[in-house]
Amino acid sequence: MTALVCVGRIRERSARALADEYIKRIGRYTAIEEIETRDLPEPARLTNVEIERVLNIEGEALLRHVKPADTLVALTPGGKRMTSEAFAEWYAKANAGSGRLCFAVGGSMGLSGAVFARTSERLSLSDMTLPHALARIVLLEQIYRACKINANERYHK
């Protein structure tokens, strides 16, 4: 089972429709769920203390949805980069555990130290900065692609 545990929700109708389409496609291969927690507004004063406060609140909300047996993977710019084929191989191994494979998608300021401390792996989708809705769609597309690769089905190269 795979879960996306995300700070905030996808508000744009077209992006939501695309995410839902990938969730439907992935569902043919494995159980998947998308959990959205509340994102806080960016602090008026962007001090390190205020940013840390927001990250901690968002992180606590996110971690409430992660069970002890789950494998948690953080999406972060400094994470491990993989080709689609390498991700498919990694995904098959990581998804074979007893708990869920959970991907943590942070809010506009990222993820808290507590979330990073709980993760088993850190993954980067791109060296470029992506809006959070788009990052989630890219992740869903790569999970779908991994499912197709692992099922020995054709996929676009």
155 within domain boundaries: no
| Rounded average pLDDT over 19-37 | 97
Radius of gyration (Cα) for the chain, nearest Å? 15
What pLDDT sits at residue 146?
Answer: 97
Q: Cβ atoms within 10 A of the Cβ of 2, count?
A: 23
Residue 156 maps to a domain: no
| From 11-25, 65-79, 94-108, 113-127, the region with the lowest mean pLDDT | 94-108
Q: Identify the CATH number of the domain in which residue 120 sits.
A: 3.40.1280.10
Query: Based on the structure, what is the number of domains in the chain?
Result: 1
Q: Where in the sequence is the domain holding 7, given as residue range(s)?
A: 2-150
**Residue 131 domain flag:** yes
Asked if the structure places residue 157 within a domain, the reply is no
What are 76's two structure tokens? 């972060």
DSSP string, 45-107: S--HHHHHHHHHHHHHHHHTT--TT-EEEEEEEEEE---HHHHHHHHHHHTTSSS-EEEEE-B
Q: How confident is the model at residue 18 (pLDDT cuts 50, 70, 90)?
A: very high
What is the average pLDDT value for the chain, to the nearest integer? 93
Rounded to whole angstroms, how far apart are CA atoms 15 and 27? 18
Position 25 pLDDT exceeds 80: yes
Residue 96 confidence (pLDDT): 86
Q: Measured between alpha carbons, how far is residue 8 from residues 34, 37, 64, 83 in Å?
A: 11, 5, 15, 27
58-41-78 Cα angle (round to 5)? 55
Is the pLDDT score of 52 beyond 70? yes
Instruction: Express each pLDDT in 55-109 by its tens digit.
Output: 999 999 999 999 999 999 999 999 999 999 999 999 999 988 788 999 999 988 8
Phi, psi of 10 (to 5 degrees): -80, 120
Cα separations in angstroms, 39 against 1, 31, 53, 63: 25, 25, 12, 14
- Contacts of residue 91, Cβ cutoff 8 Å, sequence gap at least 6: 101, 143, 146, 147, 150
